[in-house]
């Protein structure tokens, strides 16, 4: 065992896994490398659900060279039959000798069973190399497996004085083009984008990933308790859009049925979409990573319910001043000791703006 080499090859497997981030739903992103005599003889990453897993692609590439080789894989190989046969069997048959696994699979159908199977079949299993890095790649998958809800990141563009929009709701544009381009990257890595009806009715955004085909767009989910979204909104002319509502109070339903959007009725709680019921719906859709682009009302509700794992703030060098809207309408605190603790995990320049990434201390997935 050579630690330095192990890190090197696992890092390569992780880099491969990254290439399909956001496109493997409902599966996690996984990369695999097969090494023989310190040389890579096979590599693969899982591209899309239903197709070969990373290990299988790598084994096919390695062919007969797999015999006696080392396999580096970012996630525990599966031991159950899903859409494809179990990888653990194929690994054993390939003749691979040593297997290095970054993390166990949080999927209860696997969760250690893959490792057990490999060990029972005489392989040397080394677990935990670059585990933290591997977990970071699949926070969404881990969250869904552990908590039956996606990992939720909320993106909020603010001014230097923490304002998201003027009192009339107008917010175009607080942040720079560079920041808006950076947002595109996050959108493309997410299974779904969540927003509120208010954002649609005020800004009329498309919430598209520019470089992706109409088919590969993340699911766009719009919360609209009483179905008052404007039926001519741009986003409703697209595929992969669902409007989640509680009651149809204004007879908008027939008009909306003529749009491309799907409609999903869900329970209301205090006149708002029940966010816990929404989580069940998202879990049913097998959404791993949820990207929120919403206003202070929805963000405040998510925060109150601890449904905001990460906050990604783009801060622009402008001051907007009094009576403009803040990031969160809720919660309303009585004491400073009730303030909600985050940890800043990254901050950097994006053009003239600063991007601040912070994770909620209380329910961090890992």
**Residue 305 in contact with a copy of itself, rule: CB under 8 A:** no
CB of residue 321 vs a copy of itself: minimum separation in angstroms?
Answer: 4
Q: Which is nearer to a copy of itself, 48 or 345 (CB)?
A: 345
**Interacting residues with a copy of itself between 238 and 267 (CB under 8 A):** none
Q: Of the candidates 173, 177, 276, 362, which one interacts with a copy of itself according to CB under 8 A?
A: 173
Q: Hey, how many other C-beta atoms are within 10 angstroms of the C-beta on 241?
A: 22
Q: Is 271 helix (H, G, I), strand (E, B) or coil?
A: coil
CB 301 within 8 A of CB 321: no
The residue range among 98-106, 116-124, 136-144, 169-177 that interacts with a copy of itself, by the rule CB under 8 A, is: 169-177
Burial 54-88 (b: 16+ CB within 10 A, else e): bbbbbbebbeebbeebbbbbbbbbbbeeeebebbb
Residue 277 to residue 282: CA distance in whole angstroms: 9
CB of residue 312 vs a copy of itself: minimum separation in angstroms?
Answer: 11
Q: Of the candidates 19, 81, 170, 257, which one interacts with a copy of itself according to CB under 8 A?
A: 170
**What DSSP designation does 286 have?**
T
Order across the sheet with 31-36: list the strands: 39-45, 31-36, 70-73, 98-101, 124-127
**Residue 327 in contact with a copy of itself, rule: CB under 8 A:** yes
Pick from 211, 172, 265: which is nearest to 22 by CA? Answer: 211
CB of residue 176 vs a copy of itself: minimum separation in angstroms?
Answer: 11
CA 73 → CA 12, 77, 96, 127, distances in Å? 10, 8, 12, 10
Q: Of the candidates 229, 294, 311, 365, which one interacts with a copy of itself according to CB under 8 A?
A: 311
Q: Of the candidates 50, 122, 254, 322, which one interacts with a copy of itself according to CB under 8 A?
A: 322
Q: Which is nearer to a copy of itself, 175 or 190 (CB)?
A: 175
Q: Which is nearer to a copy of itself, 109 or 344 (CB)?
A: 344
Q: Which is nearer to a copy of itself, 145 or 302 (CB)?
A: 302
> Annotated catalytic, 264?
no
The residue range among 31-39, 98-106, 143-151, 328-336 that interacts with a copy of itself, by the rule CB under 8 A, is: 328-336
Contacts of 223 (CB under 8 A, 6+ apart): 194, 195, 196, 197, 244, 273, 278, 298
Task: Decide: residue 122, CB within 10 A, 0-12 exposed, 13-18 middle, 19+ buried.
Answer: exposed
Residue 317 to residue 213: CA distance in whole angstroms: 34
**Residue 347 in contact with a copy of itself, rule: CB under 8 A:** yes
Residue 58 to residue 72: CA distance in whole angstroms: 10
Strand-pair partners of 142: none
Q: Of the candidates 264, 272, 331, 364, which one interacts with a copy of itself according to CB under 8 A?
A: 331
Pick from 2, 3, 69: which is nearest to 34 by CA? Answer: 69
**Residue 50 in contact with a copy of itself, rule: CB under 8 A:** no
Q: Of the candidates 64, 214, 251, 332, which one interacts with a copy of itself according to CB under 8 A?
A: 332
The residue range among 16-24, 37-45, 257-265, 346-354 that interacts with a copy of itself, by the rule CB under 8 A, is: 346-354
Q: Which is nearer to a copy of itself, 127 or 354 (CB)?
A: 354
**Residue 59 in contact with a copy of itself, rule: CB under 8 A:** no
**Residue 161 in contact with a copy of itself, rule: CB under 8 A:** yes
Active centre residues (catalytic): 55
Chain residues binding a copy of itself by CB under 8 A are 158-163, 166, 170-174, 296, 300, 303, 311, 313, 315, 317-324, 326-336, 339-344, 347, 349, 352, 354, 356, 358
């Amino acid at each position: 065992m050579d630690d330095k080499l192990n890190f090197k090859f696992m890092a390569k497997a992780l880099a491969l896994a990254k290439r399909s981030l956001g496109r493997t739903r409902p599966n996690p992103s996984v990369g695999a490398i097969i090494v023989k005599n310190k040389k890579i003889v096979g590599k693969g990453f899982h591209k899309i659900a239903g197709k070969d897993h990373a290990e299988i692609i790598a084994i096919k590439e390695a062919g007969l060279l797999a015999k006696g080789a080392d396999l580096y894989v970012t996630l525990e190989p599966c031991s159950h039959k899903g859409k494809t046969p179990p990888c653990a069997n194929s690994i054993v048959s390939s003749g691979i000798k040593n297997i290095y696994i970054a993390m166990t699979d949080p999927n209860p159908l696997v969760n250690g069973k893959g490792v057990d199977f490999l060990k029972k079949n005489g392989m040397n299993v080394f677990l935990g190399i670059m585990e933290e890095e591997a977990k970071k790649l699949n926070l969404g998958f881990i969250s869904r497996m552990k908590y039956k809800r996606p990992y939720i990141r909320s993106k909020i563009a603010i001014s230097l004085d923490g304002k998201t929009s003027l009192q009339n709701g107008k917010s175009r544009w607080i942040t720079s083009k560079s920041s808006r381009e950076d947002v595109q990257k996050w959108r493309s890595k997410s299974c779904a984008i969540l927003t509120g009806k208010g954002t649609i009715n005020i800004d009329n955004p498309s919430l598209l990933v520019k470089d992706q085909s109409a088919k590969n767009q993340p699911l766009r989910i719009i919360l609209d308790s009483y179905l008052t979204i404007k039926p001519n909104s741009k986003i409703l002319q697209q595929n992969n859009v669902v409007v989640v509502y509680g009651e149809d109070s204004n007879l908008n339903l027939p008009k909306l049925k003529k749009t491309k959007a799907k409609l999903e009725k869900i329970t209301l709680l205090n006149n708002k979409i029940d966010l816990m019921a929404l989580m069940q719906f998202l879990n049913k859709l097998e959404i791993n990573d949820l990207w929120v682009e919403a206003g202070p009302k929805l963000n405040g509700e998510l925060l109150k319910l601890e449904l905001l794992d990460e906050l990604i703030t783009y801060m622009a060098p402008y001051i907007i001043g009094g009576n403009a809207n803040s990031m969160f309408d809720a919660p309303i605190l009585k004491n400073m000791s009730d303030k909600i603790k985050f940890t800043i995990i990254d901050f950097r320049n994006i053009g003239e703006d600063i991007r601040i990434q912070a994770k909620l201390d209380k329910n961090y997935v890992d």
